[in-house]
């Protein structure tokens, strides 16, 4: 019974890992990876000594490639902003939903807040254009006709655009991500709340001292996973929302791999960048896991 | 959680209600905007009169009507008579159906054996499978593999590589593990083999998890376009709806020139784009609220360690 799944994982998940060797080979878009020659060495001066690392020429090229540096900077910037804005948001929303007394209203709110998660980034980019277009977008129509202000260049000014992308990221994920936290909150013992209330604890005090500590393990696990994605970015999100005027900010690593690998046929360079990204993410994930365990928390494993 | 009586509602309760109403509006208004755009007169869009309600243009001479609200369906007629859009829509519906069925079968075939304690190499296989969740080869090595396998510009590239999602596999395996072993043991005593036990005992009890996992595969396939962008470069006839919509929004592919003057009419492309967005978004928005209890339980199942 396991035969088909095993073949699936070997062919579609492990076989490509052999092709990762392309990162250490010369660029060739036609020959099978095994027949391509190895790449040149990377000559670096480290600790005052000249060292030659074999096969690393693609990495040397990437690290000295200005668009690559820009892509790394943008990827890290968006990851930091996403975690800063998008990580606490569902926790706060879940705490508030949990305090909501009107059960039917709570259910309706939840259903509606899950909705953005089911929209593709293409559709969201369409919504964004209709909302923020400087000439006919709803938001700019409103600030023009109600407040007489000039349009805000959300789609075309790089700084505004970054804010919009982060905001849309929160918008899409906040409701969906409350599911896990709400499930964890229901596992917190109601007796603790009753005891605290009997002792005169206010609602905010109970949220802070009982509910939040109760869901701490879940928060930590999701935080480890978030850290493990720092060097990555959602390709579809940036592909859908980018435009030529914001290219300086919209180049993130997966977009770089797509444009330099597929559009410019630099397979080895792009494979090297992809490998770099995946290794950093794996190291960050394992590192965050170790740190959490050292601090006495429950890790992923 | 304490005191659920309505009468005990304090100011704090109403503040929370207000915040929630704000969140509901933030979720709904962007969608309403697009619907309003799709139903408006193109001229009203150019005049910046469209916000959240569809509008027909104010006539120059009869401009005393304050709220010329109305709807026209020209944009939908245009988009639904666009042969490329309709072809892609039909293909995406079939594709989503096929991909979901295949993925469900493969995921069951993988999850069920992994619940057997006495399976040889179970630990190793589990680790090898979960490893692929945290480390992937990357797009270029994958591209090279599909090139060697002849999957480029082949429509099956949208189905085969997505057979098993490790995350959904874990959810399904956890659900199977929750089915009491005693059921399996008694069936084994009666001489039933693993396939019969799967078909007669496990699957009939697994409707909730099959719905959850099936929904997630279907949503992923309906919304996904990265694979088509990478691997179907020269096969636009197999592009799923999201990619066709992407091209329409980017202005790469003009809508079929049903009416030669159409492209020139200001505001017309906006209404047609908005109609295309609505058509691509409606199927999922109609389905997900009814399956809410399934996906909520699925996500919760996937979050528990083990």
Backbone phi, psi, residue B4, to 5°: -95, 10
Residues 6 or more apart from B178 whose CB is under 8 A from it? Answer: none
Going by the DSSP 8-state scheme, the letter that residue B56 receives in this structure is P
d(CA A92, CA A181): 10
Q: Match 């490639």 to its residue by tokens.
A: A65
A62-119, pLDDT tens digit by residue? 999 999 999 999 999 999 999 999 999 999 999 999 988 888 999 999 999 999 999 9
Lowest mean pLDDT among A177-186, B41-50, B127-136, B254-263: B254-263
Query: Mean pLDDT across chain A, nearest whole number?
Result: 90
Choose the closest CB to A285 out of B30, B134, B276.
B134
Residue A126 has pLDDT above 70, yes or no: yes
Contact A261, A65 (CB under 8 A): no
pLDDT of residue B4: 47
d(CA B92, CA B88): 6
Chain B residues with beta carbon closer than 8 angstroms to that of A33: 141, 144
pLDDT of residue B263: 52
Residues 6 or more apart from B215 whose CB is under 8 A from it? Answer: B287, B288, B291, B294, B295, B298
pLDDT of residue B251: 75
- Closest Cα in chain B to A193: B2
3-state secondary structure of B152: coil
H helices of chain B, in order, are 11-39, 42-46, 74-80, 83-111, 122-134, 139-149, 166-177, 181-189, 194-197, 203-205, 207-223, 226-231, 241-249, 268-287, 292-303
Residue B61 has pLDDT above 50, yes or no: no
Sequence ranges of chain B with CATH classification 1.10.3720.10: 77-303
ipTM here: 0.89
pLDDT of residue B253: 58
Taking only residues 140 to 159 of chain A, the set having a beta carbon closer than 8 angstroms to any beta carbon of chain B reads 140-142, 144-145
pLDDT of residue A144: 79
Alpha-carbon gap: A296 to the closest alpha carbon of chain B (Å): 17
Predicted TM-score (pTM) of the model is 0.89
Mutate to test the interface with B, among A130, A200, A215 (most CBs of B within 10 A): A130
A196-250, pLDDT tens digit by residue? 888 888 888 888 888 999 898 889 888 888 888 888 899 999 999 998 899 899 9
Half-sphere exposure of A147 (CA within 13 A, CB side): 9
Residue ranges per structural domain of chain A: 66-294
> How many whole angstroms from its chain centre is CA A34?
33
Residues 6 or more apart from A267 whose CB is under 8 A from it? Answer: A22, A27, A28, A29, A261, B140, B143, B144
Choose the closest CB to B23 out of A4, A109, A190.
A109
CB contact under 8 A, B296 and A193: no
Contact B79, B272 (CB under 8 A): yes
pLDDT of residue A12: 94
CATH number, span B77-303: 1.10.3720.10
DSSP B218-250: HHHHHH--HHHHHH-TT-GGG--HHHHHHHHHT
A66-294 to CATH, choices 2.60.40.10, 1.10.3720.10, 1.10.260.40, 1.10.3210.10: 1.10.3720.10
Contact A298, A220 (CB under 8 A): yes
Choose the closest CB to A235 out of B128, B148, B226.
B226
CB contact under 8 A, B140 and A113: no
d(CA B175, CA B159): 25
Contact B40, B52 (CB under 8 A): no
Taking only residues 45 to 104 of chain A, the set having a beta carbon closer than 8 angstroms to any beta carbon of chain B reads 93, 96-103
Q: Does A173 touch chain B (CB under 8 A)?
A: no
Q: Does A6 touch chain B (CB under 8 A)?
A: yes
């Amino acid at each position: 019974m396991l035969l088909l799944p095993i073949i699936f994982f070997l062919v579609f998940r492990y076989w490509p890992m052999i092709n990762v060797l392309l990162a250490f080979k010369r660029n060739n878009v036609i020959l099978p990876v095994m027949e391509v020659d190895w790449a040149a060495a990377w000559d670096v001066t480290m600790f005052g000594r000249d060292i030659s690392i074999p096969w690393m020429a693609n990495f040397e090229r990437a690290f000295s490639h200005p668009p690559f540096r820009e892509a790394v900077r943008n990827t890290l910037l968006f990851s930091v902003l996403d975690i800063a804005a998008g990580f606490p948001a569902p926790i706060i929303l879940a705490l508030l939903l949990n305090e909501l007394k009107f059960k039917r209203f709570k259910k309706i709110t939840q259903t509606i807040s899950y909705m953005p998660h089911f929209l593709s980034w293409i559709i969201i980019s369409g919504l964004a254009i209709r909302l923020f277009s400087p000439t006919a977008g709803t938001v700019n129509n409103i600030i023009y006709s109600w407040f007489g202000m000039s349009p805000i260049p959300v789609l075309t000014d790089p700084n505004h655009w970054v804010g919009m992308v982060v905001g849309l990221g929160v918008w899409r994920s906040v409701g969906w991500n409350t599911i896990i936290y709400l499930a964890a909150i229901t596992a917190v013992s109601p007796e603790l709340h009753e005891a605290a209330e009997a002792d005169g604890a206010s609602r905010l005090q109970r949220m802070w001292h009982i509910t939040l500590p109760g869901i701490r393990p879940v928060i930590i696990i999701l935080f480890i996973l978030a850290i493990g994605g720092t060097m990555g970015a959602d390709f579809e999100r940036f592909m859908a929302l980018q435009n030529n005027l914001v290219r300086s900010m919209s180049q993130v690593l997966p977009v770089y791999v797509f444009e330099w690998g597929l559009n410019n046929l630099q397979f080895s360079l792009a494979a090297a960048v992809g490998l770099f990204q995946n290794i950093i993410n794996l190291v960050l994930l394992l590192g965050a896991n170790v740190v959490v365990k050292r601090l006495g928390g429950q890790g992923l494993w | 959680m304490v005191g659920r009586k309505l009468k005990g509602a304090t100011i704090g309760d109403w503040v929370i209600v207000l915040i929630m109403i704000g969140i509901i509006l933030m979720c709904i208004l962007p969608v309403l905007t697009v619907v309003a755009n799709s139903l408006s007169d193109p001229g009203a869009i150019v005049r910046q009169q469209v916000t959240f309600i569809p509008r027909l243009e104010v006539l120059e001479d009869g401009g005393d009507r304050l709220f010329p609200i109305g709807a026209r369906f020209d944009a939908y007629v245009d988009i639904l008579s666009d042969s490329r859009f309709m072809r892609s829509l039909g293909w995406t519906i079939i594709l989503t159906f096929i991909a979901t069925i295949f993925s469900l079968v493969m995921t069951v075939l993988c999850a069920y054996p992994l619940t057997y304690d006495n399976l040889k190499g179970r630990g190793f296989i589990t680790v090898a499978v979960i490893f692929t969740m945290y480390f992937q080869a990357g797009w270029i090595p994958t591209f090279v593999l599909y090139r060697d396998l002849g999957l480029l510009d082949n429509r099956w590239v949208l189905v085969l590589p997505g057979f098993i999602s490790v995350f959904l596999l874990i959810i399904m395996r956890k659900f199977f593990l929750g089915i009491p072993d005693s059921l399996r043991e008694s069936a084994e005593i009666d001489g039933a083999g693993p396939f019969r036990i799967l078909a007669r005992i496990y699957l009939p009890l697994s409707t909730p998890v099959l719905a959850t996992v099936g929904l997630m595969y279907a949503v992923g396939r309906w919304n996904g376009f990265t694979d088509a962008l990478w691997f179907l470069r020269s096969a636009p006839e197999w592009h799923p709806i999201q990619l066709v919509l992407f091209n329409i929004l980017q202005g790469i592919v003009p809508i079929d020139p049903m009416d030669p003057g159409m492209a020139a009419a200001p505001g017309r492309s906006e209404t047609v784009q908005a109609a295309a967005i609505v058509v691509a978004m409606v199927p999922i928005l109609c389905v997900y609220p009814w399956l809410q209890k399934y996906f909520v339980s699925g996500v919760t199942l996937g979050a528990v360690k083990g």
